[in-house]
Amino acid sequence: MYKYVIKRVLLTIPVLLGVLLIVFTIMSLTPGEPARLILGASADQAAIDAFNQLHGLDATFPERLWNYLKDIVTDLDFGRSYRSDKPVFDMILGRFPITFMLATLSIFFSAVIGIVLGVVSAVKQYSKLDATLTVTAMIFASIPSFWLGMMLILGFSLNLHMFPSHGADSWQSYVLPVLTLAVSAAAGLLRMTRSAMLETIRMEYIRTARAKGASPRDVIYKHALKNALLPVVTSLGISFGTSLGGAVVIETVFSIPGLGMLIVNAIRDKDFPLVMASILFLAALFCLVMLIVDLIYAFIDPRIKSKYLN
Partner 1 sequence: MKKNLLINIDDVSGIKADKESHAKEIWRRLRKNKTAMAGMLILGIFVLVALFADVIAPYETAVAQDSSMRLQPPSAEHFFGTDRLGRDVFARVVQGARVSLSIGLFTSLGSLIIAVIFGSLAGYYGGKTETLILRIVDVFMCIPSILLSLAVVAALGPNMINLLIAMMISAVPGKIRLIHSVILSVGDQEYVDAARVYGCSDARIIFKYILPNALGVIIVDTTMGIAGTILGAASLSFIGMGIQPPAPEWGSMLSEASEFLRRAPYLLVFPGVSILLSAMSCNLLGDGIRDAFDPKLKD
Partner 2 sequence: MKKRFAIVMTLIMTFSLLAGCSSESEQSGSAEENKLILGIESELTSFDVENGDFALDFVIRRCLYEPLVHVDPVSGEEEMRLAESYTVSDDKTVYTFKLRPDVKMHDGSTLTADDVVYSLNLTKESSYVGKNLSAMKQARAVDDHTVEVTLNAPYAAFMKNLSMCFVLSAEAHRAGTDAFNEEPVGCGPYKFVSYENDNKITLEAFDEYYRDTAPIETIEIRMFADTSSLAIAMESGELDAAAGINPVDYENVVSNDNIVVDEIATTKFCMLSMNEETEPFNDKKVRQAINYAIDRQFVLDASREGKGNPTSLLFNTAMTCTEGVEEYEYDPEKAKQLLEEAGISLPLTLNTKLSTYEGCKTEAEAIQESLANVGINVEIEILESGALYGGLASGDIPFSLTRLGTSAVDPDQYYNMVSENGFSSLNYSRYVNDEVEELMVQARSEKDEEERDTLYREALEIIQDDAPYAVIYEMPDLNASVKNLNVNWGLNGMYYLYDFSWK
Give the binding site for partner 2 (CB under 8 A).
30-45, 47-48, 50-51, 83-87, 94-95, 98, 101, 104-105, 108, 157-158, 161, 164-174, 252, 255, 257, 261, 265, 268-270
Contact 287, 16 (CB under 8 A): yes
Q: Residue 1 forms beta bridges with which residues?
A: none
Here's the x/- map for partner 1, 177-216, by CB under 8 A: it reads as: ------------------x--xx--x--------------
* Candidate ranges 39-47, 67-75, 280-288, 293-301; the one touching partner 1 (CB under 8 A): 280-288
Residue 260 CB neighbours (<10 A): 26
Interface with partner 1, residue 146, by CB under 8 A: yes
Rule CB under 8 A: is residue 296 a binding residue for partner 1?
Answer: no
Contacts of residue 232, Cβ cutoff 8 Å, sequence gap at least 6: 115, 118, 189, 192, 193, 196
Q: Which is nearer to partner 1, 46 or 160 (CB)?
A: 160
Nearest CB to partner 2, comparing residues 141 and 264: 264
Cα-trace Rg, the chain: 24
Count each helix (H run) and each strand (E run) in the chain, helices first. 12, 0
How many residues at the interface with partner 1, by CB under 8 A? 52
Smallest gap from Cβ 214 to partner 2, in A, equals 25
Q: In the complex with partner 1, which residue's Cβ is closer, 47 or 265?
A: 265
Which is it for the CA torsion 253, 257, 262, 265, positive or negative?
positive
217-236 residues in contact with partner 1 (CB under 8 A) are none
Choose, by CB under 8 A, the member of 248, 262, 277, 298 that binds partner 1: 248
252 CA to centre of own chain: 16
Do you know the residue count of the chain? 310
Instruction: Tell me how far apart the terminal alpha carbons of the chain are, to the nearest angstrom.
Output: 9
Q: Which does 212 bind (CB under 5 to 8 A by kind): partner 2, partner 1, none?
A: none
Ranges within 112-141 binding partner 1 (CB under 8 A): 135, 138-139, 141
Among 68, 163, 174, 286, binds partner 1 (CB under 8 A): 286
C-beta of 5 vs 50, nearer to partner 1: 5
Q: At what angle do helices 259-269 and 217-254 cross, to 10 degrees?
A: 50
CB contact at 8 A, 280 and 19:
yes
